[in-house]
Amino acid sequence: MKISTEEFNVILENRLTLTKSVLGSKGKEYTLSDDNRIHNFNIAGMRRGITPEKALDGMMLKHEVSVYDMINYVETNLEKLTIKLIDEKIGDNINYLILLEAMLKKRVELYLNSLKVCNSDIKEEKYNSIVDDSIKGKVVIG
């Protein structure tokens, strides 16, 4: 199998356009009146006694299983794969990952702001060191 750069770029542009469109329309659907893009994950997390991030992870699992199924269809049931199905299931996963990215970045922002409120540059340096170590693949606890 070969995918040319031109073919790939068409897929990429279509995905970016579709992602912006879906997240824009879904944002209106899920934010209701409080302008909080993660409202449903906050409520789900509160109801289950978990973080909003873990609530998202649980909801995203269904979409991950759908992608796993599609990968298996390549060998077991190729006629089930359609362009519409691929667009929907891949899109769902991308959208959940973008929402998770926003949540995690907000979590880091809030944490760093709390350190500044405590007026402790040492804690911020320690936090940045932990982030640097985790990026390098080191396991850091505490």
Instruction: Dump pLDDT digits (tens) for 64-113.
Output: 999 999 999 999 999 999 999 999 999 999 999 999 999 999 999 988 88
Is residue 131 assigned to a domain? no
Does residue 126 or residue 11 have the better pLDDT?
Answer: 11
Range of the domain at 30: 5-107
Is residue 115 assigned to a domain? no
* Measured distance CA(27)–CA(41) in Å, rounded: 13
* Measured distance CA(37)–CA(28) in Å, rounded: 9
When pLDDT is cut at 50, 70 and 90, the band that residue 140 belongs to is: very low
Question: Domain total for the chain?
Answer: 1
Is residue 134 assigned to a domain? no
Is residue 77 assigned to a domain? yes
Is residue 141 assigned to a domain? no
Does residue 12 or residue 137 have the better pLDDT?
Answer: 12
Is residue 21 assigned to a domain? yes
| pLDDT at residue 117 is higher than 80 | no
Is residue 96 assigned to a domain? yes
Is residue 139 assigned to a domain? no
For residue 129, the model assigns a pLDDT of 64
Q: What is the mean pLDDT of residues 14-32?
A: 81
| pLDDT at residue 137 is higher than 50 | no
